[in-house]
Amino acid sequence: MPRYVILLLQILAASSFIVNFAYAGDAAAGKIKFSTCEGCHSVEKYFNVYPSYRVPKLGGQHEAYIQSALQSYKNGDRAHETMRANAANLSKEDIADIAAYLAQKDVFKGAANNVRSQDPVARGKEKAATCAACHGKDGNSAAPTFPIIAGQHADYITQSLKQYKSGTRKNAIMAGSVAGLSEDDMKDLGAYFAAQTGLEPILE
């Protein structure tokens, strides 16, 4: 192939590259901008609340698709309210940066090993060690004055823990147990105990 043809092909390739990536983002900047999204997207087995379904995986997704998806939330083509709120304030540059970050290949593999992306049940299991003395290891307490919490609804458990912490439910023993817990801890504990076999609903 003559030299000038090669050169021409190179120029064409380079220019189409520029056209395709007109808003080519900065992955490092995108990583920082994505931190507000991690609460949902970086938690393994995180569910949308209602209706219940898994939050989509984004790691390794096509850059152009991410950009278009975020634009769709911005312009209303996609109705999901939380995502609309999250996309609303993103500039074109933010969207490009985030898309560049998410589209990277191979960098997200093994992410399940870090604590953030462990599921709440696994995190709750670690935190439940301090509850075992009274409620039993899996929440099936042996002592009759210590309630069974295995199999209880996760949100009920979390709500109860919050009430002990705020003092709207008063119990000296439990007040001491929840004093050091964050809201995330309470959710993780709820998830863990709810996942154990124990209480059953009473259905007619």
- Where on the chain is the footprint of ligand HEC (CB under 6 A)? 34, 36-37, 39-41, 48, 55-56, 58, 66, 69-70, 78, 80, 82-83, 86, 98, 130-131, 133-135, 145-147, 149, 157, 160-161, 169, 171, 173-174, 177, 189
Cis peptide before 51 (omega within 30 of 0): yes
CB of 79 to ligand HEC, least distance (A): 7
Residue 107: phi and psi, rounded to 5, are -75, -20
Closer to ligand HEC by Cβ: residue 118 or 177 = 177
Closer to ligand HEC by Cβ: residue 17 or 137 = 137
**Among the listed residues 141, 165, 139, 164, the one whose alpha carbon sits nearest the alpha carbon of residue 153:** 139
Give the CA dihedral 16, 18, 23, 24, nearest 10 degrees: 110
Q: Which amino acid belongs to residue 87?
A: A
CB of 26 to ligand HEC, least distance (A): 15
Q: Which residues of 119-139 are buried (b: 16+ CB within 10 A; e: fewer)?
A: bbbebbbebbeebeebbbebb
CB of 113 to ligand HEC, least distance (A): 22
Closer to ligand HEC by Cβ: residue 1 or 49 = 49
Closer to ligand HEC by Cβ: residue 16 or 182 = 182
Closer to ligand HEC by Cβ: residue 18 or 153 = 153
- N-terminal to C-terminal alpha carbon distance within the chain: 81
CB of 169 to ligand HEC, least distance (A): 6
CB of 56 to ligand HEC, least distance (A): 4
CA neighbours closer than 13 Å in the CB half-sphere of residue 89: 7
